[in-house]
Amino acid sequence: MRGVRPLFTASLVLVSGAACAEGARAWLERMQGAAHTLNYTGTFVYRHDGLLAAMHIVHRVARGRVTERLTTLDGRRQVIIRRHGRIACYLPHDRVEFIEQRVMALKSFPAIIPAHVKPLHRFYAIHMGGLGRVAGMIAREIVIDPRDAYRYGYRLWADRKNGLLLKATVMTYHGKTVEQFLFTRLRLHRAIPASAVGPVGVRDAKTYKKERGELFPDPTPTWTVARVPPGFRLAMHLMRRMAGHKGIVQHLVYSDGLAGVSVFIGRRVHGAAVHAQLFRLGALHVFRTVVDHRVITALGDVPTVTVETMALSVRPLASRVKVAAR
């Protein structure tokens, strides 16, 4: 009988751990649903690298489609409108409008939760946290810990009543905070007029110079990433013309279900060597190098090692090269 209690205790731990994980995944699904069903306005702050920025957001849902207008509250004024997979960024100071098509590699607060959360457990440990207060509301914490150093972890706080994400902290594998989003004011609405998510506050928007990005299908990709970190899979491949840039680049998108990396195969380089460059803004890393005389850029809300590993292992597909040489 002495062995019964340890076995019984171990069983309780396993069962409670599984129940906790299931409860956490249910909360993630609830958060994802809230972002696609609730109308709200509010102000949130973004902290990164010792800096603090504030934005006002108008979030409208109509017939199952989400439209958002974000306006910077400090620094140079910017108005960003996200609608049906398209992002329009108005820069009143320069009188320019940048228009890009969104791809799945980059998600934005507060809609950072993927549609399918069950596959995440292979690469993230997900469990319930405690209760806290955010923007005057009681919030439930959900903890998402990465199982390796190729991806970040998250601390998410959702409104206990409706599941809306109120606060998100991005952390390294070793527990260091990288960036944080936090609502300071939030108001729910039964309905929001379409005019509220237009270019409000942008004078003479129709006269702005338009820099438009375009997407094209890519049925026969000619490049691949030879070293892909565990869990990341090729989600799509396409051709893209970037807003404000000349030429068309091949665009590969990799995702583990939560984090995403975009890899761009750009122009051919001749002559002088181009040194590798690394840029960082909060959790976003951009790594640029040259492989096989092509400018390669990898970017995503992932650690440095992930973008460097992928960019440096970009290779032409041998079969495509042989066909093209005939």
How far, in Å, CA of 301 to CA of 309, rounded?
Answer: 14
- Chain segment 264-281, per-residue pLDDT in tens: 998 787 766 667 899 998
Q: Which of 250, 246, 245 is nearest to 234 (CA)?
A: 250
β-sheet bridge partners, residue 299: 262, 286
pLDDT at 17: 46
Alpha-carbon Rg for the chain, nearest whole angstrom, is 22
Residue 107: pLDDT band with limits 50, 70, 90? low
Angle at 199 between CA 197 and CA 204, to 5 degrees: 155
Distances (CA, A) of 39 to 47, 127, 162: 25, 28, 12
Do 207 and 92 contact (CB within 8 A), yes or no? no
Residue 158 three-state SS: strand
pTM over 0.75: yes
227 Cβ contact list (under 8 Å, min separation 6):
309, 310, 312, 313
Q: Which of 201, 244, 205, 204 is nearest to 100 (CA)?
A: 244
Q: Which domains are seen in the chain, by residue range?
A: 13-207 (2.50.20.10), 214-325 (3.30.200.100)
- Chain segment 204-223, per-residue pLDDT in tens: 777 777 666 666 777 777 89
Residue 4: pLDDT band with limits 50, 70, 90? low
- Give the pLDDT mean for 40-67: 92
Is a pLDDT exceeding 90 seen at residue 317? no
Q: Which helix (H) or strand (E) holds 26?
A: helix 4-35
- Give the pLDDT mean for 138-157: 96
How far, in Å, CA of 53 to CA of 64, rounded?
Answer: 30
